[in-house]
């Protein structure tokens, strides 16, 4: 199932978020993602996967544990196994005070149905 396959503009000192859920009937769920960022001096973006609690705390400026944190990169591909829950995929550009970023992002979910 595709969650995102688009180019997103993430404004300076801002972030983009997409909520998604993994239900109990979805076994061995993997998030499959890739991105390519351009704009600003570093052509970079930070991608985070956070659960609901961590997202609320992170968006309020608190330090949190994430399921995934890419650090600031130009491009990346990864697979991540996640348990049942509600999550946020975050494209973080809060570190850039001047430059917006264009991010081509592809995110999908793959799983096996519970029998």
Mean pLDDT, rounded, for 14-24: 95
Helix or strand run (H / E) with residue 88: strand 85-92
pLDDT in tens, 51-67: 999 999 999 999 999 99
Report how far residue 44's alpha carbon sits from residue 1's, in angstroms, rounded to the nearest whole number: 26
- Assigned fold of 2-113: Jelly Rolls (2.60.120)
pLDDT digits (tens, 9 = 90+) for 26-52: 999 999 999 999 999 999 999 999 999
Percent of the chain with pLDDT over 90: 90
User: Do 76 and 35 touch, CB atoms closer than 8 A?
Assistant: yes
In the chain, what are the domain boundaries?
2-113
pLDDT band at 1 (very low <50, low <70, confident <90, very high): confident
């Amino acid at each position: 199932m595709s969650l995102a396959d688009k180019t997103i503009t993430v404004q300076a000192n801002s972030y983009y978020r997409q909520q998604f859920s993994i239900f109990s009937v979805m076994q061995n769920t993997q998030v499959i993602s890739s991105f390519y960022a351009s704009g600003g001096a570093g052509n970079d973006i930070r991608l985070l996967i956070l659960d609901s609690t961590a997202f609320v705390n992170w968006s309020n400026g608190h330090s949190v544990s994430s399921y995934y944190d890419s650090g600031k990169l130009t491009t990346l591909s990864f697979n991540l196994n996640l348990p049942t829950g509600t999550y946020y995929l975050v494209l973080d550009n809060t570190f850039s005070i001047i430059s917006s970023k264009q991010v081509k992002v592809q995110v999908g979910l793959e799983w096996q149905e519970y029998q």
